[in-house]
Amino acid sequence: ITILSPGVTLFRQLVETLRPADAFPALRLVRLAGEQVRSEDLVAFQRHCAAASVLRIGYSSTETGPISDYLIDGTTPLDGTAPSCGYPAQGVDVFVVDSHDMPREDGDPGEIVVRTPELALRYWRQPDETAARFLPGSATGPGSFHTGDRGQWRPD
């Protein structure tokens, strides 16, 4: 196995079956997405994978496609906290806004809004939900999507 792409729960179940000395020396990439990755998942990755292996945490939605990525390897220092959602994927803009759609400053929580050329057009037969969550683009740029998720920009 050189690339492993399980859901987060399956990854946890896999590492629970391993002995402390068990390792995956040929594993180059582990991709996790679908639910929140916890600090203990990072520890398990580093314990059982080679230092050159990469863990990619992906954040996405059906409406937007990929939103962000966060990468660590076997030498990344861990501080015991849950990992970041990462950095916007290529071609994607991510904003944290208040209830008036004004950008929030570093550290102030708000709603995550995503602008991407891969944005879905609308919800099928749900015009009110579409109007509330999808913001149309312009002739020169893509539209945006209110994810309903809360986030905040951190200095890192």
Instruction: List pLDDT tens digits, range 121-137.
Output: 999 999 999 999 999 88
| β 87-88/93-97 pair status | unpaired
If you write DSSP's letter for every residue of the chain in order, what string do you get?
--EE---HHHHHHHHHTS-TT--BTT--EEEE-SS---HHHHHHHHHHB-TT-EEEEEEEETTTEEEEEEEEETTS---SSPPP--EEPTT-EEEEE-TTSPBPPTT--EEEEEE-TT-----TT-HHHHHHHEE--BTTB--EEEEEEEE-----
Instruction: List pLDDT tens digits, range 75-132.
Output: 999 999 989 888 999 999 999 999 999 999 778 999 999 999 999 999 999 999 999 9
Q: Which residues pair with residue 13 across a beta bridge? A: none
